[in-house]
Chain A
Amino acid sequence: MISFPILFLVSVVAGFVGAMSGMGGGIVLIPTLTFLGVDIKHAIAVSILSVIATSSGSASAYTRDHITNLKVGMFLEMFTIVGALAGASITIVSSTKPLYIAFGAVLLGSWAALLFAGEETYHAGEQDAFTRWLELEGSYPDYALGRVVHYKARRAYFGAPAMFGAGMIAGLLGIGAGAVKVLIHDLIMGLPPKVSTTTSNLIIGVTALAGTSVYLVAGMINPGLAAPVILGVVLGAFIGTRLLVRLTNLAVRRFFLIVLLVLAVEMIIRGIRGA
């Protein structure tokens, strides 16, 4: 058994890096736990349980600030939870090798997304009839601009199936997959960046719950892992968001790019060789 202090410390670091980079704790937590000798399925299970805590924690602040769009969240949740149930069910029956490779691929994807990440741009566009019928629009107080920003979402018919895919990745690999959800909100549905990140946080909580329920039934929630991981990741995420070092600093960004790449290559090699 891995000692409590080590598990706790690893989780604090994972939560901290996850919050700072906006990638979520699971991306760092799961590879590290497997390096410590935890079976990858158990690492995935405990990670997705901890995701409920970190995402609900930050979502609580954002909803009370009236930035989160509840209707967008609750419409898209219908699709992510079904995806998460499917994804987690696949993980349960899968052998471990493909899981390592899939995780490595998602890490590589995150690495590429971070490498090519440009300035956040937001273009308002024409709303279609279906999205209007869904009432997917709103306003939020932008304190930087000093005014209330009104916006209308669009292309919900593309957003919904894409969110099924995002939910599936979340359930399959035990991560929040917030980066994927934000991409869908930004690029497909045309939500302002602030609304898309905060609404994604809300969605991640229920999506993670759907995934966790599958792992609980499979007997993969190990309390000896869960207790230090939940406390550690939440503490790390709390410190990370308070510091607000949002990868603007070039050195931090470079460091994180290297970490992601090393973890990705390591996971893929382990997947090919067998852990």
Chain B
Amino acid sequence: MTAAAAVAPPAEAPAVTTIAVDRLSKWLGPVVALSDVSFTIGPGVTALLGPNGAGKSTLLRILCGLTGASQGTVRVLGVDPRTDLALRGRLGLVAQQESLFEQLRAVDIVALSAGLHGVADSASAARGALELVDLDPADARPVRTYSKGMRQRVKVAAAVVHDPTVVVLDEPLEGLDPRQRVRMIELFVHLGAQGRTVLVSSHVLDEVERFGSQVLVLAKGRLAASGDFRAIRDLMDERPHRLRLRASDARRLAAALMAGGTVVGTHLEAVDSVLVDTVLVGAFRRALPRAAAAEGIRLLEVTPLDDDLDSVFRYLVDR
């Protein structure tokens, strides 16, 4: 994967490029949804990470041809997704919206998707796809009675029933319980291992970590970083962190950490509470218990204050 606009160490271009985006911008009226985004990705799982409103869904919609680019070029399997009709038979999309054909059964919806994509035995393909996502093909209930998680799985089954080369999934894990999430992540990894290009969007950092994949980080419509997940994680760890430490003697603990060089600033809040700033998260994690033990201080609580995604993305964009 490469990213012209990325701030992470540039990764190598994939051996086979299935999606190529060059200087893509998209305006929605006066709002800039995407700005000068460039990257290429190949087969395997790629996670599209970013906070809500970052432009992930807009990017995925453009990749599927559902809307056009205002500027720049997009190629999926070498063609323009906005105009190439044949490409749509090789694409599978799990859209973010909940809408389904409410009055139909899950097996009917998935068979419909298969039929619309020209699958010969759509009934058999639908049963197979539903079993893949742990749903009962014989369930006679209409999908309007389904839970959010079940509906999400119906959408995934409908997106993969025609054996697409490129699978685009917009927040597919939303609404799933932890067991279903694990199962679904296994499915995505499996699809990627089969040589398909799987692009999955998420705003949950830990989810993306479990894909073990390449990552594109989108923030405020810009590509903030791209590359291997570990490289992105390291990049995120390098940013300044603020933590609240609660300890039996906060002042002495702060002094010990300052002396150790892993903390660049402290602010005593109370006898048992201190805010510390660090830029060496890894070293700080190791130094903290050692310093507490050496000083005979009881460490009560460690709370990261800026570990939410927004602050991570803000850092990546602003640096």
Q: Do A and B bind each other?
A: no
Residues of B at the A interface (CB closer than 8 Å) are none
